[in-house]
C-alpha cells in the first residue's frame, strides 16, 4: 500500500488527547494518572484508512517536539503519505484535555502546552499545502476535512485553499463537521452550539461537500433537522448525508437511498474517543472503491448502501473497545470477522 498513490487526503489537526482518569479531571489529575493518546479527527481517519488498506495522505502541521516526532513515527508506520506534512519550529503540538465519564463517554474541556503563540495546527500554511497538492491530485478520489481549522485564521485559509483545489480537480469532498466549541473559544461550554460567526464560516463547506457526516446535535444546530433526506434537500448540491446519534440508530441518505439501522454493540466499551472517526474511515474505505469516474454521480443499490453503513458502524464499534482513537483501529479482516458474528442487520 505504501507504494500506491493516495486515494484519500485527510487535512487538518493532529494532536494528543490527554484522557483523564475515568470520572476524574485531566486538568488537575497527576500526569501519571492520565493517558496520552495521539489523535485529532483527520489524523485518526488517515490512520484508520491506512489500517483498512486504503492508500491515504495526511496534510497537517506538527510542532517540532516529542509529540510531533511520535506522530511522524506512527504515520510512517501506518504507511500514510506525508509529503504534505508541515513542521512548526515555534508552536507545540496541541494537547487536548479529555474528561472521561465512567461509561466511556468523553468531554473536551481545554488544552495544555501553549507557550503563548498558540498551537502548530492553528498555523497550517496555505503555500506549502498548495505545492504538496499537485503531485497528489491525480489519483485522489476524496478530500476529508472537518471544521476545526476554520477556528484559526491561517488554518482556515489553508483549508479553503484545499477545498478550492479539490473543486478544480474534481476531487469529492467529505465533510465531518466535528463541532468542538473549545477550539473556537477555550472558555465555551463543551455543550455549546456554533455561534453566528462559526455558522457563517461553515456554510461554504456545507455547500460544497459531496458527503456530509454529522452527529445528531450538529444536524439540529445546522439544519434544525436530523433527517438526512431533509438535510440533503436543503443544500444546492444534494450531498449524501449520514447522521450518527451515539448508541441510537444511524440514519442516512446516500445515492438517493434513505435508511436507518441500530448501531452495533462493541465487544466492550473502554473509551468512545475516535469512534466517529473510525466510522468515517469505514465509510470512505468502502466509497473509494465504489466512487465512479470524475463527474459521474454515485449510483448504488440500496442493499449496497446498507452494507457500506454497516461496515462503517463496525469500525466505530471496534474502536470503542480500546483506549484512544488510533491504537484500537481495526483492519478490514477484523471488521469482516466482527460482522460475521454480529446479528443480522435490521432496519430501524
Can you give the residue ranges of every domain in the chain? Answer: 8-341
Superfamily of domain 8-341: Ribokinase (3.40.1190.20)
CB-CB contact of 307 with 256 (8 Å):
no
Secondary structure element (H or E) that encloses residue 155, with its range: helix 153-168
Per the structure block, which three cell numbers stand in for 151?
Answer: 477556528
φ and ψ of 19, to 5 deg: -80, 120
pTM: 0.92
Distance CA 96, CA 50 (A): 24
Per-residue pLDDT of the chain (348 residues; tens, 9 = 90+): 446 799 999 999 999 988 777 777 777 778 877 888 899 999 999 999 999 999 999 999 999 999 999 999 999 999 999 999 999 999 999 998 887 776 656 677 789 889 899 999 999 999 999 999 999 998 999 999 999 999 999 999 999 999 999 999 999 999 999 999 999 998 888 889 999 999 999 999 999 999 999 999 999 999 999 999 999 999 999 999 999 998 899 999 999 999 999 989 888 887 777 899 999 999 999 999 887 666 566 778 889 999 999 999 999 999 988 877 898 999 999 999 999 998 766 555
- Report which DSSP code applies to 81: B
Q: Hey, how many other C-beta atoms are within 10 angstroms of the C-beta on 155? A: 26
Amino acid at each position: 500500500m505504501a507504494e500506491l498513490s493516495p486515494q484519500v487526503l485527510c487535512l487538518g489537526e493532529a494532536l494528543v488527547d490527554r484522557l483523564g482518569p475515568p470520572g476524574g479531571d485531566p486538568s488537575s489529575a497527576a500526569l501519571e494518572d492520565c493517558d496520552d493518546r495521539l489523535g485529532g479527527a483527520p489524523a485518526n481517519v488517515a490512520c484508520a484508512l491506512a489500517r483498512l488498506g486504503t492508500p491515504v495522505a495526511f496534510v497537517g502541521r506538527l510542532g517540532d517536539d516529542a509529540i510531533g516526532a511520535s506522530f511522524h513515527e506512527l504515520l510512517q508506520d501506518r504507511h500514510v503519505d506525508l509529503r504534505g506534512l508541515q513542521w512548526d519550529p515555534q508552536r507545540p503540538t496541541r494537547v487536548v484535555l479529555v474528561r472521561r465519564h465512567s461509561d466511556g463517554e468523553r468531554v473536551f474541556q481545554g488544552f495544555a502546552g501553549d507557550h503563548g503563540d498558540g498551537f502548530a495546527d492553528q498555523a497550517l500554511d496555505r503555500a506549502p499545502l498548495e505545492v504538496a497538492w499537485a503531485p497528489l491530485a491525480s489519483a485522489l478520489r476524496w478530500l476529508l476535512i472537518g471544521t476545526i481549522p476554520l477556528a484559526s485564521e491561517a488554518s482556515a485559509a489553508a483549508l479553503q485553499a484545499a477545498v478550492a483545489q479539490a473543486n478544480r480537480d474534481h476531487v469529492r469532498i467529505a465533510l465531518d463537521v466535528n463541532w468542538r466549541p473549545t477550539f473556537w473559544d477555550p472558555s465555551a461550554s463543551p455543550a455549546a452550539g456554533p455561534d453566528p460567526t462559526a455558522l457563517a464560516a461553515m456554510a461554504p463547506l456545507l455547500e460544497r461537500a459531496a458527503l456530509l457526516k454529522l452527529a445528531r446535535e450538529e444536524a439540529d444546530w445546522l439544519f434544525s433537522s436530523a433527517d438526512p433526506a431533509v438535510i440533503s434537500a436543503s443544500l444546492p448540491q444534494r450531498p449524501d448525508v449520514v447522521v450518527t446519534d451515539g448508541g441510537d440508530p444511524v440514519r442516512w441518505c446516500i445515492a438517493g437511498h434513505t435508511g436507518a439501522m441500530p448501531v452495533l454493540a462493541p465487544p466492550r466499551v473502554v473509551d468512545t474517543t475516535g469512534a466517529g472517526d473510525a466510522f468515517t474511515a469505514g465509510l470512505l474505505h468502502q466509497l473509494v472503491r465504489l466512487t465512479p469516474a470524475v463527474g459521474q454521480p454515485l449510483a448504488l443499490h440500496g442493499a449496497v448502501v446498507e452494507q457500506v453503513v454497516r461496515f462503517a458502524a463496525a469500525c466505530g464499534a471496534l474502536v470503542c473497545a480500546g483506549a484512544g482513537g488510533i491504537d484500537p483501529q481495526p483492519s478490514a479482516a477484523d471488521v469482516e470477522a466482527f460482522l460475521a458474528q454480529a446479528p443480522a442487520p435490521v432496519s430501524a
